[in-house]
Structure 1
Amino acid sequence: MKKLSELFKGLTFVSILLFSSCYPIEPEFVSDFDSVFTEISDPDFDFSNPAINTYYLADTVIVLTDPNASDTNLEVDLDLVLNRVRFNMNQAGYTEIIDNNLATQADYLVLVSVNRSDNYFSTWWGGWGGWGGWGGWGWGGCCFFPPQITTSNIRTGAIIVELLDGKSLPQRNEIIPEVWYGVGSGLFTGNNTNLTNRTLGAIDQMFLQSPYLTR
């Protein structure tokens, strides 16, 4: 398996996407802030190779959530997440190897991860009680002292899907080469159904914008 530090590289990019991408000037829904990014990790990998036609999907979603993240009752249905990845792989023309004893025979090893983060920022307003004037001209008082500081938290979430090259499986305890990954990110707010549906939509979008994965 890849080191978690490698996975967090994708999450760093998620944060950049979330706060620097072009959004509608007046977004109406939380989903307006969702984004999906996909990338080929190995530019030399031949996705068109017809011999690549099987995959093994890890049966557990890796949870990368910061243990210090604030508590929330919001959850994404991880069983539905795995089933949606399975559906898209099957739709793309691959055959799933279900027996974990045969996992090393799969062309692709598929890993799914989720993450939730707290993003705190502070704003302040107010200031000094007034100015004394200059050259005989005076200004009236402005604002007040001390300034008022407000701290807010934006919760974000991410879903990561990775394809690892099963045919290049190295020795035990070494990193398995990654050939493709997709990241879906957005605001972690709403209700459980809303969060799950947006996550499933992000998975669909990953495969939609990666047509080279189709057999």
Structure 2
Amino acid sequence: MNKKLYQLLIFSTLLFSAISCKPDGAEYVDELDIVYTNYDASFDFGSAGTYALPSKVIKITDQFIDGNPGDEPEYLDPVYAAAILASIKSNMDAAGFTEVSENSNPDLIILPSVSQTDQLFFYYDWWYWNWFYPGWGPGWGWWYPGYYPPQVNRVRTGTLMMQMTTLETQGDADKIPVVWTGVVNGLLEGSANSINSRVNESINQAFEQSPYLAK
């Protein structure tokens, strides 16, 4: 198992163990939120200037993971998706990047998805994003340089994953390099206002703990 991924799972276990030792446990759902980031240390983020962001957030469910090419993916409720996309855009703009269309040859493309399963798949089939990703075709997938994790078991429902990819280089066998990953575990629980507030705070935290992204 990848060392950083293993450390994340150990950290999560220790955190929940600590919470369970409290007399009354966690009092609020935001106490259970965890923010994890990882990146390709060989990638020069300073060389990238533009990015593209989809207009929807994919919702990965147990049922859809076993879907077929050509199936339309399920999307997150626009009420929550808008908050996620706005927060990602705000942080990318603040880091010095300029948003462009996916067809304008952006240096980076950020793909947000929400997992509502007992497993969060870091690698899933090309057809999840064939409606958005330029030049995407059958047989393509994700490549995590230096920290490739095929999947993480037992990740709680309501996990947001952000994959930052680049079109500049491709890995072997038509793999799109994922140069940065942000995972927020524990969202989509509580009221709509609470969820949107925590989404913004957690995404802000993911970018704050990734200073190498800033230009």
Interval of TM-score (by shorter of Structure 1 and Structure 2) = 0.5 to 0.7
2:200 aligned counterpart, secondary structure? helix
* Aligned equivalent of 2:167: 166
Q: CA deviation at 1:196?
A: 2.3
* Aligned equivalent of 2:201: 201
The AA in structure 2 aligned to 1:46 is D
Residue from 18, 21, 25 that aligns with 2:15: 21
Q: Report the number of matched residues.
A: 159
**Contact 1:155–1:188 (Cα < 8 Å) also in 2:** no
Residue from 36, 42, 48 that aligns with 1:52: 48
* C-alpha distance after superposition, 1:63-107 (max 9, x if no partner): 112239xxxxx9661122111111110011001113x321xx211
Q: Which runs of 5+ in 1 are unaligned?
A: 1-9, 69-73, 120-153
CA distance in 1, matches of 2:58, 2:48: 25
CA distance in 1, matches of 2:14, 2:168: 37
CA distance in 1, matches of 2:158, 2:12: 10
Match status 1:101 vs 2:97: no
**Contact 2:58–2:114 (Cα < 8 Å) also in 1:** yes
* C-alpha distance after superposition, 1:9-34 (max 9, x if no partner): x8x99776544426453432111111
**Contact 1:17–1:35 (Cα < 8 Å) also in 2:** no
Name the Cα RMSD after superposition.
Answer: 3.2
Are the structure 2 counterparts of residues 165 and 83 from structure 1 closer, same or farther at C-alpha, using a change threshold of 3 Å? Answer: same
Query: Which consecutive segments of 4 or more residues in structure 1 shift more than 6 A?
Result: 12-16
2:175 aligned counterpart, secondary structure? coil
Query: After the TM superposition, which residues 132-143 of structure 1 pair with which residues of structure 2 at under 5 Å, given as runs?
Result: none
More strand by share: 1
Are the structure 2 counterparts of residues 65 and 31 from structure 1 closer, same or farther at C-alpha, using a change threshold of 3 Å? Answer: same
1:45 aligned counterpart, secondary structure? coil
1:178 aligned counterpart, secondary structure? strand
Residue from 77, 81, 84 that aligns with 1:81: 84
The AA in structure 2 aligned to 1:86 is K
Are the structure 2 counterparts of residues 118 and 193 from structure 1 closer, same or farther at C-alpha, using a change threshold of 3 Å? Answer: farther
Are the structure 2 counterparts of residues 206 and 212 from structure 1 closer, same or farther at C-alpha, using a change threshold of 3 Å? Answer: same
Q: Between the two proteins, what is the percent identity of the paired residues?
A: 33
Q: Which runs of 5+ in 2 are unaligned?
A: 65-75, 120-154
CA distance in 2, matches of 1:81, 1:39: 19
* C-alpha distance after superposition, 1:18-68 (max 9, x if no partner): 44426453432111111100001x231123x3x311111122212112239
Larger-Rg structure = 1
TM-score of the pair, normalised by structure 1: 0.63
CA distance in 1, matches of 2:156, 2:182: 20
* Aligned equivalent of 1:37: 36
1:183 aligned counterpart, secondary structure? strand
